[in-house]
Amino acid sequence: MSWISRLLNTQDEISDFIGRAVSWMCLAMMAVLALEISARYLFNSPTSWAHETTTMLYGTFCILAGVYTHRHHGHVRSEAVYHLFPARGRAVLDVITGGIGLVVFAVFFYVAWEFAYDSWVSNEHSSKSTWAPPIYPFKSVLPLAVGLMWLQSLVHFIRDVRVAVGIDEPVEVVEQ
């Protein structure tokens, strides 16, 4: 196995790890919501923090789960014309769209980085509840996730280029 293949596989493993790790956030969200429901309806004492906590956990879950979904080609795409092409033709189309995606993710990363940086510098706290938690750690997840999406997109791009120029044989993506 070449060093390039090992590097690409390492990024795939990172994306898989991220997906497995954030899947546990669903249990955390369920626990917080169960606690809130119990406090509200059994003890008539709603919390001031549960809604905001689950919102932050859910946002973190969704954006990081996108990395795992992208790794497994699980995002929706229009395939009406795509499957009319042979495997190498599809790789060429993927190189074109993947190149555009890399540029878009690079711009998005820059914007997300500024967004998170400004939040850290201003020591931003939520104004949505009396709890007022710091939200800069959660805003930091955005550039992290976009960076991981960019890396996974780069992996797909490199593999597609290798197929398009005939270095590698096309591999059919197994939908999960």
CA 139 to CA 119: how far, in whole Å?
Answer: 7
Helix, strand and coil content of the chain, in percent to the nearest 5, comes to: 70, 0, 25
Distance from chain centroid for Cα 72: 12
When mean pLDDT is compared across 1-10, 33-42, 107-116, 135-144, the lowest value belongs to 1-10
Answer whether residue 95 shows pLDDT above 90: yes
Residue from 144, 90, 96 nearest 116 by CA = 144
- Could you state, in order of their start, the residue ranges of all structural domains in the chain? 3-164
Rounded to two decimals, what is the model's pTM?
A: 0.86
Answer whether residue 174 shows pLDDT above 80: no
Answer whether residue 20 shows pLDDT above 80: yes
Answer whether residue 48 shows pLDDT above 90: no
Amino acid at 66: G
Mean per-residue pLDDT, 96-124: 96
Q: What pLDDT, on a 0 to 100 scale, did the predictor assign at position 175?
A: 54
Dig out the tokens for 86 from the structure.
């042979």
CA 109 to CA 146: how far, in whole Å?
Answer: 6
CA 109 to CA 103: how far, in whole Å?
Answer: 10
Residue from 158, 139, 131, 149 nearest 49 by CA = 131
Q: Tell me if residue 132 falls in helix, strand or coil.
A: coil
Dig out the tokens for 50 from the structure.
């549960």
